[in-house]
Amino acid sequence: MVDVVTQLKAKFDSSALLTNDQDKAKYVTDWPGKITGKAAAVIKPTNTAEVSEIMKIAFDTATPVVPQSGNTSVAGGSVPDTNGSAIVVSLERMNKIRDISPSAMTATVEAGCILEHLHQTFEEQNLFFPLNFGAKGSCMIGGNLATNAGGQNVVRYGNTRDLCLGIEAVTSDGRIVNLLSGLRKDNTGYDLRDLFIGSEGTLGIITAATLKLFHLPKARATTFAVVPDITRALALLNHAQAETGGAVEAFELIPKVFLQLVKKYAPQYNIPFENIPTLCVLIEIAATSNNESLANEDGIAPVNSKLENILEVGFEKGFVLDAVIATSEAQRRQMWDMREGALEVITAAGTRIGFDISLPLNKIQNFVEEMESQTEAIISGLRMCHMGHLGDGNLHYAIFPPENKPEILMAKAEEIKSVVYDSIGKYGGSFSAEHGIGVSKLSAMSKYKDPVSLAIMKQIKATLDPKNIMNPGKLLP
């Protein structure tokens, strides 16, 4: 049989097909720079029909296929292994917005659209797509769907799955599944859209999606508030939800260890307090109506007054110890830049054990305390950074070694991971909240995923991908 690259060369020119190592390099190394694989070729289709042609060739030749969008995966899911037989299918040239409907409040976009470009385009029409996080300038909607990405606005709008009305996908044998209807009600059997969302490229290639749009907030009120502990932070969240009718857009937890790292590794970010506090939350509420967003004669928008009132009650009840409200868009941006740059700051700080976990909100305080005492018994002086999207129960929990002793941590890494993962199970949490499994959490998947669910997932995989060519070695142990 003619090999895959020869067959692809017969159909695609050199602008679409990369075969030399230099051209392929950026597609085979992951964002953290920890994994570098090998690919027989990188192929960059421009439309769904081409993706279908590629998949037919891959199916006939039993070639492993790694779908790739923005390549910002932090779970090692978007790059091939070192075998060299796989092709990377990059969606980056499939970046058209097919349709925006302000009346239906939907947009149909191709998988390679960069998230931030979508934000900008929709905003020009006063529309809002709320998925948002630090990688927005590079990640693409196909990858967001394939990982069911979360981010900072989940507390209000849900995960990517909740923001998607339909998808178009190409199966492992090249068939095109068109589920782009954009319907908000469609009970016609199994929901294949939801099957592809979160499947991390192991079932097929998502080529387009119909997204839910929202009204663009006309004003936002943002604060950095110092809180005594997580329990009282959550009391503040519930108070804010009640006062705003559920309009809390973001509720992010920022602990002292993170702010210390900011001071050391990213001094360009402005910490809005003179002394670094023990625990903060970054809270944002928003208004879409003129009533709430237009400034009164004192120059203050009602949404800002509402936030001030929420904080005032928070002070009285002991939920809040100190707070700074952003008084301009520039100050708000400074607060968010620091939050959105968190992964870079944490990465710059070097050796750590990182977790992307979720817990029931009412268990987080106990979990954090228990982790502190249990890990202290393994290594004294660990620095615990329980940063995260507190409003939806997701912690990007990072454990740093005692200052200047990185080797101590890695020697005990497996023991510490077991303590954390066992405890997550005990509290009814998840070992993978939003970044996905990729390759980095395969062992946790074997050990902690419900075995019946895992067996059914493998049956689904075998049905949709009988030759096991779709991102093999990822997601499923």
- Positions that interact with ligand FAD (CB under 6 A): 31, 66-74, 77-78, 91, 111, 133-135, 139-140, 142-144, 146-147, 149-151, 200-201, 205-206, 343, 434-435, 438, 471, 474
Angle at which helix 230-244 crosses helix 364-378, to 10 degrees, equals: 160
Nearer to ligand FAD by C-beta: 151 or 393?
Answer: 151
Q: How far apart are CA 257 and CA 278, in angstroms?
A: 8
Nearer to ligand FAD by C-beta: 292 or 434?
Answer: 434
DSSP assignments along 441-465, one per residue: THHHHHHHS-HHHHHHHHHHHHHH-
Q: How far is the CB of 293 from ligand FAD (least distance, A)?
A: 27
Nearer to ligand FAD by C-beta: 154 or 307?
Answer: 154
Q: What does the block give as tokens for 275?
A: 């002394």
Nearer to ligand FAD by C-beta: 303 or 437?
Answer: 437
Q: How far is the CB of 75 from ligand FAD (least distance, A)?
A: 7
DSSP assignments along 167-236, one per residue: EEEEETTS-EEEE----S---SSS-HHHHHTTSTTSSEEEEEEEEE-EEPPSEEEEEEEE-S-HHHHHHH
CA torsion angle 306 312 316 318 (round to 10): 90
> Of 434, 334, 347, 425, which is closest to residue 389 (Cα–Cα)?
434
CA torsion angle 193 195 198 204 (round to 10): -90
- Phi and psi dihedrals of 97, rounded to 5? -90, 115
> Of 291, 296, 282, which is closest to residue 333 (Cα–Cα)?
282
Nearer to ligand FAD by C-beta: 117 or 412?
Answer: 117
Nearer to ligand FAD by C-beta: 111 or 364?
Answer: 111
Q: How far is the CB of 6 from ligand FAD (least distance, A)?
A: 24
Nearer to ligand FAD by C-beta: 318 or 350?
Answer: 350
Chain residue at closest Cβ approach to ligand FAD: 143
Q: How far is the CB of 110 from ligand FAD (least distance, A)?
A: 9
How far apart, in Å, are the Cα atoms of 161 and each of 55, 195, 365, 423? 25, 10, 28, 27
Q: How far is the CB of 47 from ligand FAD (least distance, A)?
A: 13
Q: How far is the CB of 336 from ligand FAD (least distance, A)?
A: 12
Nearer to ligand FAD by C-beta: 91 or 177?
Answer: 91
CA torsion angle 368 372 373 379 (round to 10): 150
Q: How far is the CB of 441 from ligand FAD (least distance, A)?
A: 12
Q: How far apart are CA 136 and CA 151, in angstroms?
A: 10
Q: How far is the CB of 202 from ligand FAD (least distance, A)?
A: 8
